[in-house]
Structures are given as structure tokens and as C-alpha cells.
Amino acid sequence: MSITIKTPEDLEGMRVAGRLASEVLDYLTPYVKPGVTTAHLDKLALDYIENVQGATSATVGYQPPGYPPFPAAICTSVNHQVCHGIPNDRPLKNGDILNIDVTVIKDGWHGDTSRMFIVGEGSIAARRLCQITYEAMWRGIAKVKPGARLGDIGHAIQTFVENAGYSVVREFCGHGIGRKFHEEPQVLHYGRPGTLEELVPGMVFTIEPMVNAGRREIREMPDGWTIVTRDRSLSAQWEHTVAVTETGYEILTLSAGYPPLPDFIRTTT
């Protein structure tokens, strides 16, 4: 496994890219309401990234081997869509839940983050799923420090999620990030403590658990991108880009409009 260790200068660039990614979600927040289409949100995001931030969308035309080119500046995954949803012209409805995932490139560095949005008045069940997933991400982040292992992150997320009665998607994971969109290591959201790669300062990766209200099984839609729950249960995801520091971690994808931190998180650096 070849993991790129970021220098202090590298991290300066990544802080900028990460903040810009989060600010795209800040910008979109007031537009997420019943009647809006995800295609409209995508147009707003692309215009903001290119014309306000002077950055580039990492996802427009992104084409890993075996995939068609991704056609949009954001991924928009609604209700039972797990990840990689393609924006479309279907209006959002009151009670929908929506994940918006955005990755920007600024001065060659990638910033990658996602948030859940509840459209209008969400059900108690939908709100609980989104909150548990948010807390699960942070429980994984809280394990990040030099000498810890990637398995510690996955174990913290998995045990919390399963104790809440939900399931963790296993086919998709977090990833290293830097000048490339996807780098080593892979960051599983399940696992055993004390296993996998040891964390060292300068490692940068995403933590982005996908949590299903029902069973963990998924399937791919014919568009080649959109992933849905096999049992059509609701799914939620949150994502941060995290750097390992000498004493713990630093969140690189925070901005002024970011949601309140969980009570058990005392610091973001």
C-alpha cells in the first residue's frame, strides 16, 4: 500500500480545497426545499464552484475504469439511494432526505465532503437515521490519532450503527485524497480494532459512512452510477476529509454553515 504523506505546505492547500467544498454545501442549503430539482441544485453548485470560488468540479466527467463519465458537479442521493445519485428533473418532496456530495479542486488539491438534508418536515424515523449516521461519522473521526489503526475507525462506526439497529454498507468506503481524487488507503466503515494500516501524521483521508435503515445489501441502477438499498429502506451518509496530526486529527472540510458538532466532540483540530 502506497500512502502519500502530506507536508505542512500540502495541508495548507488541502485546507483551502476542503473549506471550499464545505462552502458549496453552505451555499446550497437554503435552496433545498420541496419543489426544487436536484438538477437545479447541480446548476447552482457548478456556477458557484467555477464563478465564485474559481475552482473546478472533480466529478464532472469523472470516469473510473468501467464507469460512464459522471455528468454532474454534485452527487444527489435521495431516500433509498445510498450514494452516487445523478441529479435529475424530479422535484424534491416534503419529507425526502437528500445527501449532497461535492468534491472541488483548487490549485490541484481536492476537497471532498457530503451532508444530509431533510426536505421540509422529515419523519421521526428519517431524522433519527440522519442523526445516527452523523454521530457515527464523528465516532470514527474521534479514533483518529497517530498510532491508531484504520480498523479502530471502522469498528467504532460499525458498533455504534448496529447498536442503533441500522446496518453499514460495506461495498463503499472512505479513501485517501490529495492531488488525486482517490488515493490509498481505503477506509472501511466496519472492522476490528487494532487491524489494518497504522495512522501516521500527514495521512489524509475521508470518513464517509453509508448507513441503511434496513439491511446492508445494495444494488446498482442501470445508469451505472446510482446505488440503492436492495430492500428500498432509507439510507444516509455524511463525509469529512480528515488529516492525521501529531496529536490527533484535523477536519479539513469545515465552514461557517456547518451543522453543530456532537456533544462528545470537543475539538476539530
Which of 195, 208, 218, 214 is closest to 240 using CA atoms? 208
**pLDDT tens digit sequence for 62-115:** 999 999 999 999 999 999 999 999 999 999 999 999 999 999 999 999 999 999
Give the pLDDT of residue 18: 98
**All structural domains of the chain with their residue ranges:** 8-251
Measured CA to CA, the distance from residue 121 to residue 143 in angstroms comes to 33
Measured CA to CA, the distance from residue 34 to residue 150 in angstroms comes to 39
pLDDT(217) > 90 = yes
pLDDT(54) > 90 = yes
What average pLDDT does the segment 170-187 reach? 97
Of the candidate CATH numbers 2.60.40.10, 3.90.1660.10, 3.20.190.10, 3.90.230.10, the domain formed by 8-251 belongs to 3.90.230.10
Give the pLDDT of residue 13: 98
Give the pLDDT of residue 266: 84
What average pLDDT does the segment 219-231 reach? 97
Percentage of residues in the chain having pLDDT higher than 90: 98
